[in-house]
Amino acid sequence: MWVERLPRLYDPGPEVTVNEQLLAFRGRCPFKQYMPSKPAKYGIKSWVACDAKSSYAWKMQVYTGNQMDGVPERNQGMRVVLDVTEGLKDRNVTCDNFFTSYELGRELMATRNMTMVGTMRKNKSSYAEINNRNDGKPTIVLDYNLNKGGVDNLDKVITAYSCKRKMARWPLVIFSNIVDVSSYNAFVIWRGQPQLDAA
């Protein structure tokens, strides 16, 4: 119910970021993940779509591991992006190489009139337009760098003002994240409201 309400309260801008969030947790949980690239290393993973500028969490999905039959999911990155951006049209999605694929880009454009900027592995890269700057970086790289940090910024701000405590039960970890994200989303909505006339 909480996830269903998130998109109703905020209309994201033209740039949307899709990435993963890891809630630090080392206790027992059937879908605990190990992610060496994250500061916490162990925890509960969520997929998040947020506004690239404000970091409003527009849609979230907890990753509960492999399917019921134990078979790893095929094209998971594509499925996740399509799920967490469902309901959006005419936006640009920024994501990393886990999600990026030609098939995803084609599907987003055909069904939702959405574009995508993402990283790809070296062996799949192709020519990109170079900008006028001295460093010679392609324009697409600058666009990616500008919009990739939406979810990372969300993690940063909710960590600074968190209600989380050391917990041994994973449902409480998810619940405290719901409270943290709700608090930040409420702040974004409040900040975006026009100032009332003092008179």
β-pair partners for 70: none
- Tell me what pLDDT residue 152 has: 82
- Tell me what pLDDT residue 16 has: 95
Mean pLDDT for back-to-back runs of 10 residues, the chain (199 residues): 92 92 90 85 93 93 79 86 94 91 92 90 57 66 78 84 84 93 92 54
- Tell me what pLDDT residue 171 has: 92
pTM of the predicted structure, to 2 decimals: 0.80
- Tell me what pLDDT residue 199 has: 38
Residues near 4 by beta carbon (within 8 Å), at least 6 away in sequence: none
The burial of 94, by beta-carbon neighbours within 10 Å (0-12 exposed, 13-18 middle, 19 or more buried), is given as buried
